[in-house]
Amino acid sequence: MMTGGNYTTIDSQKVSGSVPSVPDPGHTTVKFTESNLQTFPPSAAQGKISGGSNPPRDADDTFSGPGNGSSSRDEPQSGGWLHKFTVGAYKPFFDVDTSDVVDRLKESLFPFRGTFTEKTADKPDLYGPFWICTTLIFVAASIGTFVTYVAHKWKKQEWNYDINLVTWSAGVFYGYVTLVPLALYVVLKYFSAPSGLVQLFCLYGYSLFIFIPALCLSVVPVEIFRWVIAGVAGFMSATFVALNLKAHINSAGERSILIIASIFLLQLGLAVVLKLYLFTVTV
């Protein structure tokens, strides 16, 4: 190195020796905090739709429950009748699985037990009645169309599809399972024997399940056989409704027999209407 015209020599060994060496750090261990992703869903989650939510007990307090803690915690709460117009008010009544629906369908096929209302008192549902009515509309329209098509082709007559069969079936089934329980709810409330409105919807909805196989059997082109099928289905459906409401309506006093008889005859009337308009093929 040259400074001021003079050459100065710096020993490379001294320079290298004056710089301290950096020690080898070796392997560095990095620790990560334990993640909770391995436990999914969380063990605290319960219920089928929302954590820990169960359908309300549908006693005299119609559409009670969603305000009693059955709605999801992250949903806004609205009080009074405004809450009845929200989806959260009806979600608990669709909180059923396949086993629940199948058990209730089996119960409707054994009308003399009369234990349906007891088993569904804590957990009535609207899922089953909705799909039963929807299936009935599809089956009635398809079976009726198929039977009339075969009958017309057998006689070599021109056949046209009647769309009114679908709309008529929808009006009958949806209207019956809605208006009749609503009217019965008002009557029972008047006679001081109130019943849950959703419980009545559930009962009447499942009472219509017997008409699905009855409609399928109506393809047999024998008029007497069709009357027998319609009569048996109507009798089983009427017995199912009457016996399940008998114990509850008995508290109405002397008029309980009249109410039960009216329920039974009204259900039989539905079977007659279905026979005349769906079980009968006019060519």
With a pLDDT cut of 70, the percent of the chain lying above it is 65
pLDDT at 270 > cutoff 70? yes
Cβ pair 107, 115 in contact under 8 A: yes
Sign of CA dihedral 124, 125, 126, 131: negative
Is 132 in contact with 174 (CB distance < 8 Å)?
no
For residues 23 and 39, give the distance between their C-alpha atoms in angstroms, rounded to a whole number. 43
| Global confidence as pTM | 0.68
**Can the peptide bond before residue 41 be classed as cis, meaning omega within 30 degrees of 0?**
yes
pLDDT band at 279 (very low <50, low <70, confident <90, very high): low
Cβ-based neighbour number of residue 253 at 10 Å = 11
Mean pLDDT, residues 94-119: 89
- Top-confidence residue, 123 or 278: 123
Quick one: pLDDT at residue 277?
78
- Arithmetic mean of pLDDT, 58-83: 47
Is the pLDDT at 257 greater than 50, yes or no?
yes
pLDDT reported for residue 103: 93
Distance CA 170, CA 133 (A): 8
Place of tokens 């075969």: 150
Res 235: pLDDT: 95
> For 169-195, what is each residue's pLDDT tens digit?
899 899 999 999 999 999 888 887 778
Q: Which of 180, 257, 198 is nearest to 60 (CA)?
A: 198
> Is it the case that residue 105 has pLDDT exceeding 80?
yes
Give the whole-angstrom CA distance, residue 163 versus residue 144: 11
Hey, what amino acid is at 278? L
Does residue 62 register a pLDDT over 60? Answer: no
Using the structure block, give the residue that is written with the tokens 């334990």. Answer: 34
Predicted confidence at residue 35, as pLDDT, reads 46
Quote the CA–CA distance of 232 and 228 in Å, as a whole number.
6
